[in-house]
Amino acid sequence: MTFSIRAAIIAATTLAIAAGIGATAPGVAGEAETTPVAAINEAEPEQVPTMAESLAALEEDAADAQTPDTTDESEATYQSLAAAVAAQPAIAEDAELNCLAIGVYYESKGEPLEGQLAVAEVILNRVRSGRFPSTVCGVLTQRGQFSFVRGGRLVQPSVSARAWKTALAVAQVARDDAWDSRVSNALFFHARYVSPGWRRARVGSVGNHIFYR
């Protein structure tokens, strides 16, 4: 037997012995048999976000940080009465708001904003008091209460008039309680140039009107 043939036989024998030892080694076959194919297929590599996805996430976080919380719009605050008035939509949403704006317009259209707001507050305070009609329109048309009312009717001002738009905005501010005047608890008022001799508690004066409780 030549040397080369003898070396080949020895190599083959060695490989056979090694294979047999590997096949009977404890734990090896068991681990291989108990590893489901599905588990191998489901093991996916971790998904790394792309540059575009990362930038989009950063932009979304920045937008969320800059967006104010508007969960409850009724709690909106303003820096001044003028700002509150300017923020109102120029539209009469319902008959009650329209009546309130009419009252503000005819009783105080030449007054400063706080004076107009004070008139609106008087009207609303009467509605809530239980001593007067329970609606704004009813309070205004109550006999003998407001001098601009004729025959129980309210005359609609021109909706394009600047004074009307201001009165409407003031009425919205008062209705939503978005700003309080210095006489926000008043129930009565009269012009400075008249002296009705009322025995009522004076609350204060705004513009050309004096207000009472």
Domain 83-212 falls under CATH 1.10.3720.10: no
205: β partners: 210
Contact by Cβ (8 Å): 68, 131: no
For strand 202-206 and strand 188-191, is the pairing parallel, antiparallel, or unpaired? unpaired
Q: How confident is the prediction along the chain (213 residues), in pLDDT tens digits per residue?
A: 544 444 444 444 444 434 443 433 333 333 333 333 333 233 444 455 555 554 455 455 544 444 444 444 444 689 999 999 999 998 898 999 999 999 999 999 999 999 999 999 999 999 999 999 999 999 999 999 999 998 999 999 999 999 999 999 999 999 999 999 999 999 999 999 999 999 999 999 999 999 999
Name the region of 129 (left: φ>0; alpha: ψ -120 to 50; beta: rest).
alpha
What single DSSP character describes residue 132? S
Classify the C-alpha dihedral 58-64-67-68 as positive or negative: negative
pTM exceeds 0.85: no
